[in-house]
Homo-oligomer: A and B are copies of this chain.
Amino acid sequence: MMNPKNNKTGCLIVVSGPSGTGKSTIVNSVLDTCKELSFSVSATTRPQREGETEGVDYYFVTKEQFQQMIDNNELLEHAEYVGNFYGTPRKAVLDKIDNGLNILLDIEVQGAEQIKRQYPEAVTMFVVPPSWEELERRLINRGTDSMEKIQARLKQAKSEIEKIENYDYIIVNDVLETAISEVISIIATQDYKYDKRINDLTEAYSL
């Protein structure tokens, strides 16, 4: 059988949802399990948090550097979120997809919308806690932000949840392990789709 990577494009998988839903925890665990999955590291102007690594969690850049990336059309999507900027480097993502790799993006809701407009074939998941009360509780208990920032996040979360209908899948993050395994299943099944598998069969069946 020929190398299928030469014949098919990879899948762009987007995990999004309001802040405080646990989407980054889910994404990190999925990446630990699915070694063949590529992760796109975002650029951001927000301050580095404790435990975060440059080039692994984010590329931490200044506002000036970020503006330069926008001006040079180096970002596939970018968005402002509670005063900070976030963006996905374009070339890294497109090169991997062209080489048949599946890529996972962990991005804010605004950015996910831009991706879906540009790539309707992107598979998008929206992560939410089981209820609004639970989301409030998680944002308040996070403890890394001032009350003012929490209020801003709550307000933003409310408007973001109204965008849920634009997503292909909903992941209810109640039991973390369940949420993780659901995301893994959704990613796995993308490779079983007709478009992904037909190339491998063309030769075997003289189609």
Residues of B within 8 A of A130 (CB): 204
Asked whether A201 and B170 contact (CB < 8 A) given A185-B185, A189-B185, the answer is yes
- The answer to whether the Cβ of A71 comes within 8 Å of any Cβ in the partner chain is no
Query: Contact between B194 and A170 (Cβ–Cβ < 8 Å)?
Result: yes
> What is the oligomeric copy number?
2
Asked if B186 and A170 make an inter-chain contact with CB atoms under 8 angstroms apart, the answer reads no
A54 within 8 A of B: no
Residues of B within 8 A of A197 (CB): 169-170, 172
Q: How far is the CA of A192 from the CA of B26 in the complex (A)?
A: 15
A193:B165 contact, CB within 8 angstroms: no
Give how many A residues have a beta carbon under 8 Å from the other chain's beta carbons: 32
- For A170, the chain B residues whose CB sits under 8 A away are 192-194, 197-198, 201
Question: Would B167 and A204 count as touching, CB distance under 8 A?
Answer: no
User: Which residues of A170-207 have CB atoms within 8 Å of chain B's CB atoms?
Assistant: 170-172, 182, 185-186, 188-189, 192-194, 197-198, 200-201, 204-207
A205: chain B residues at CB < 8 Å are 128, 131-132, 161
CB distance from A196 to the nearest CB of B (A): 8
Q: Chain B's nearest CB lies how many Å from the CB of A131?
A: 4
Query: In the docked arrangement, what's the CA distance between A197 and B165, Å?
Result: 11
Contact call B198/A164, Cβ cutoff below 8 A: yes
C-alpha gap A206/B168 in the complex (Å): 20
